[in-house]
A and B are shown apart, each in its own frame.
Chain A
Amino acid sequence: MPKRVFLGMSGGVDSSVSALLLRDQGYDVTGVYMKNWSEDLPGMHCPWAEDLADAKRVAVQLDLDFDVWDFEQAYKQKVVDYMLDEFRRGRTPNPDIMCNQEIKFKLFYERALAAGADYIATGHYARADGSHLRLAADANKDQTYFLYRMSLAATARTLFPVGDLKKPAVKALAAARGLDVAHKKESMGVCFVGEVGMKDFLQHYLPAQPGEIRELETDRVLGHHDGAIFYTLGQRHGLYLGGGLPYYVVKKDLSRNLLYVSRNLNAANLWTDTLELEDLFLREPLPNLPASTSSTAPTAAAPVSVRLRHRAPLIPATFDGHALHFSQPIKRPAAGQSAVLYSDDLCLGGGIIAES
């Protein structure tokens, strides 16, 4: 009996090529479109119906079973509500990480197992090695940043068929096999919001709250904003403060709804050599550290590589079980984002960046 795989198919080229690779490898594949979001918002068309059709077309082309699993309610609760709450608290969450943790590698995984799956699969660029998560072969496309919170149990039952390939090879395979999605425009950013729509999306749910934009050094009022929560530390676009040198958001005072900006790229608030992490999710024992780091204060700090954004370069640091220490100041990432730790190609886990 061939092993049964339930593959999440989004209608994109990566999951489509995953389908053909799995089929070629002799798996009994069922493609599943996860319907997580379908609502159009002002200025944002949700292409779920087109994506579903693309996914189903590929499944039929490859003669696979295909199904649609509706996770809209769970997605709203576990991902969207979490995201809105985080923004309300003045933080900058990463909904894609939450979606992988709560929907794809939890609800989808559990439902697939219940339906008789030996494995689940997705089109992510990553490698699963038992319960270990490793960097993808395509360093430029690696998506482990989004996956570090998937459970070890799910990792052990997950296949990432394109994880060993480079993106151009994936596209070439799709084209060679006549898959229409070979030329599909890649979706970027949060799947349902699009690349530039986050503020528009937030404004649909969170009321505007006008407040002042002040210059950090002088406390001078430079302009007004429509809600401090809509802005992220380090942001320089969308402030409408006129020409000249750009201003950067360097501080948010949520209790007074004030946004502090500076023209000084060296403003102390923009830089740090320490990042406090919370809500840790550690996948591996840390080098030079005991496995259970949360209870006892460690004496040594583990040398790690850190990624602070998807596709950002890996930078060296040490991790003492609570905080990351950098030998040189780094540009401070926004609270709520994730720091993901690696040792060579092994993803060690990570945590959520705490407020300074």
Chain B
Amino acid sequence: MIYLDHAAATPVLPAALKAMTPYFTEQFFNPSAPYLPAKRVREAYQAAKDTIAHTIGAKGADLIITAGATESINLAFTACHHRALVLATEHAAVLAAAAPHHATLIPVTRTGLIDLAAFRKLLTDEIDFVSVSLANNELGTIQPLAEISALVRAARADRLAHGLTTPLYLHSDASQALSLLDLNVARLGVDLLTINAAKCGGPKGVGALYQAHGVPLQALTLGGGQERGLRSGTENVPGVIGFAVATADAKRHLGTHRKLYQTLNARFRQALTRELAALGLPAPLLLGHPKHQLANFCPVSFPGLDAERLIYRLEAQEIYLSTGAACAANKGTKSHVLTAIGLSDSEIAGSLRLSFGAANTLDQAEPAAQALAAAVAAEAARQQCTTPTSAQSATPAASTARQESRHA
């Protein structure tokens, strides 16, 4: 198996799994219970929260543990009472949570970077919430969050100078970035930060929201008052323990991992271009930003081909990769991210997202590239010999029309 979809899910780190196991069995106690063994569990839980918080330069008490990034994002948006500004390429969770707040979309450039000039113009006095992901989940494009937060700070100062009391909060969804970038909430200048265990070697179903002091959140889940009343419900102790081990490990190995992914990524790209050329095929369209991109991301497009067909061909050889976000694949919906960066329909239909990670070794670059090139060649040949007798294929844009029929 060659797994190339770490942006969708990562295998749980063996050390994380090992640390979690006792909290399912002998250490099963409810952390809120009054006896000593429960107190031990409570302490372990708090220590784990501290560990997670330390990796982003915060304290355990600044975190609200949730059931994942989607919940964190929804909780973050409870600080929004007027209007929100969100990046056009945000994850569906952000777009959906922003929808009731008359959200305006901030445009991006063709590489997926925020259009800072447009952002500056859109950041008017009625905006009280800005949400920009640290790294995009389809392109891996890393946003200049420090510059964005500087603009937010300037806008705040300007409001005060004019006697305006409308608050302004900056939230960032860092789900994809936790194991690849050195995150520090102070350096990023964010008021709220969403993180997620499942993308960095932790278990699924655990996330956290960092909340800077003074950002007013409202609980979405009411009950016994856990997580400072902002997220009631008995704590997911094993999940948080696993999350902590995974984040600490990711932080410790950040440099070596990044170097490994860079090497792997570069080898793969080289091999792919070489293999395609050997088959008489052009190099793929490389998506995202050449420099400001997560080291493990390799989003590419083969315009005119059907990316899903490539996926099924590679799946037969136990090579697993994805189109855009796993959530959008197969639903026949066109990726809003790829639309936002201005790709044509045929470029979107031919788009694949490869994301390297812990399950990969350097020697997988060659066979993965060879298999992908062969699949591309097979699909390209199939498209060419498709006789244009069908009504569908009668137009010059045959391949595009074929793809688009499912988007109709």
Which chain B residue lies CB-closest to A68? B406
B392 within 8 A of A: yes
Residues of A within 8 A of B391 (CB): 111, 114-116
- Tell me the count of chain A residues lying within 8 A, CB to CB, of chain B: 22
Task: Report B-chain residues with C-beta under 8 Å of the C-beta of A61.
Answer: 312, 316
Majority SS at the chain A contact face: mixed
CB contact under 8 A between A68 and B405, given known A4-B389, A56-B309, A115-B391:
yes
A63 interface residue, CB < 8 Å from B?
Answer: yes
A89 to B330, CA, bound (A): 39
By a CB distance below 8 angstroms, the chain A residues around B382 are 63, 65
Contact A30 B330 (CB under 8 A): no
Q: Which residues of A contact B389 (CB under 8 A)?
A: 4, 115-116
Report if B386 contacts A (CB, 8 A). Answer: yes
Nearest opposing residue in chain B for A63, CB measure: B382
**Is B332 in contact with chain A by the CB < 8 A criterion?**
yes
Are the C-beta atoms of A52 and B390 separated by less than 8 Å? no
The prevalent SS among residues of B at the interface is: helix
Contacts A56-B309, A68-B405, A70-B405 given; indicate if A116 touches B390 (C-beta within 8 A): yes
B375 CB to closest chain A CB, in angstroms?
A: 10
**CA separation between A254 and B138, bound complex, in Å?**
56
Known interface pairs A67-B392, A68-B406; A56-B332 also in contact (CB < 8 Å)? no
Contacts of B121 in A (CB 8 A): none
A57 close to B (CB within 8 Å): yes
- Give which listed residue, A30, A49, A69, A116, contacts B331 with CB less than 8 A: A49
- Using a CB-CB cutoff of 8 Å, which residues 276-295 of chain B contact chain A? none
Q: Mark B369-408, 1 if CB is under 8 A from A, else 0.
A: 0000000001000100010011110000000001001101
Q: Any chain A CB within 8 A of the CB of B366?
A: no
Residues of B within 8 A of A63 (CB): 378, 382
Contact between B312 and A56, CB atoms less than 8 A apart? yes
B281 CB, min distance to chain A CBs, angstroms? 18
**B313 contacts across to A, CB distance below 8 A:** 60
Q: Considering the complex, give the chain A residue whose CB is closest to the CB of B386.
A: A65
Interface: A219 (CB within 8 A): no
1/0 per residue, CB under 8 A from B, across A2-40: the answer is 001000000000000000000000000010000100000
Complex Cα–Cα for A30 and B312 (A)? 17
B125 at the interface (CB under 8 A from A): no
Report whether A68 and B312 are in contact in the complex, using a CB–CB cutoff of 8 Å. no
Q: Is the CB of A57 within 8 A of B331?
A: no
> Distance in Å from the Cβ of B72 to the closest Cβ of chain A?
25
Beyond the given A70-B405, A70-B408, please list 18 additional residue pairs across the A-B interface where CB-CB is below 8 A. A4-B389, A35-B406, A49-B330, A50-B330, A53-B308, A53-B330, A60-B308, A60-B312, A65-B386, A67-B402, A68-B332, A68-B406, A69-B405, A114-B391, A115-B390, A115-B392, A116-B389, A116-B391
Footprint of A on B, CB under 8 Å? 308-309, 312-313, 315-316, 330-332, 378, 382, 386, 389-392, 402, 405-406, 408
